[in-house]
Structure 1
């Protein structure tokens, strides 16, 4: 499997999980006001319909007609992770001037499976707790090891 390195390094505190999957840019964004709260945010490719809610499905209060700060942070971190061209192509955004978040079309609110995205995030966190081992670990066979060939 070919692994594409991140376009630029990014800090994981604000947006610990971002992915291009299921026809959406989606991820987990930390709350700016409550350290125990996270938001699951997504932007649908093509239609640019948006969704943002807490991990227990409470709607984001900032999502009123325009994109909330969680969606803006998600786009910014996705550009760092994947590069602007790849994210724009995935979301089917027309090329143009200015930041990618500003070029997104006027999508409407959509219900997306926040639980699935949050579950994938938790599964990725679980890999951080796997004890270090020099032997083969089947759960991590997908993870690229530098210099190792299997």
Structure 2
């Protein structure tokens, strides 16, 4: 049986529908605040703390300039803290948060990094997001779905 850690708290999926700690990055998809048809793929690389944010069609985020971070990165970090908890996100990103007290929003976590912009693999992250959306269309069944063996709802279904 596969053990899956429960979410630290419920997330707001409308703002950040997809967040993951994978491929050495905190990465995910963040909804645009101005255009309902646009999403941003944002990421923070573990260790180097390099950041990237671009639209789903690889146009750079206008809010990411120099060392100033865009709101999409802050939203991503905030939802990651809700999903995984402070200790797990900080350990994964290799951020020193001391005892972790007072870290409750993404800005408090990102303020402890030395972030710099570096282009990232937006297409890979967006493709993963689309693949996860496709699972919402899988018809309900009592039979196991091999691709979802990692998902908590199917852990224990034999």
- Name the TM-score class by shorter chain: over 0.9
Cα offset for 1:133? 1.3
Cα offset for 1:128? 0.2
Cα offset for 1:26? 0.4
Structure 2 equivalent of residue 111 of structure 1: 119
1:114-148 Cα offsets, whole Å, 9 max, x none, are 00000000000000000111223333233223784
Separation in structure 2 between the aligned mates of residue 146 and residue 23 of structure 1, nearest angstrom: 26
Q: Secondary structure at the match of 1:43?
A: strand
Structure 2 equivalent of residue 141 of structure 1: 149
Task: Note if 1:11 corresponds to 2:12.
Answer: yes
Which of 54, 67, 70 is 1:68 aligned to?
Answer: 70
Cα offset for 1:61? 0.1
Q: Secondary structure at the match of 1:135?
A: coil
> Could you state the TM-score of these two structures normalised by the residue count of structure 1?
0.92
Unaligned runs of 5+ in 2: none
Structure 2 equivalent of residue 86 of structure 1: 88
Cα gap change, 1:134 to 1:57, in 2 (>3 Å) = same
Structure 2 equivalent of residue 22 of structure 1: 23
Cα offset for 1:95? 1.9
Separation in structure 2 between the aligned mates of residue 27 and residue 103 of structure 1, nearest angstrom: 20
Cα offset for 1:28? 0.3
> Could you state the TM-score of these two structures normalised by the residue count of structure 2?
0.88
Q: Secondary structure at the match of 1:89?
A: helix
Cα offset for 1:11? 1.4
Task: Note if 1:101 corresponds to 2:102.
Answer: no
Over the residues paired in the alignment, what is the CA RMSD in angstroms? 1.6
Cα offset for 1:47? 1.0
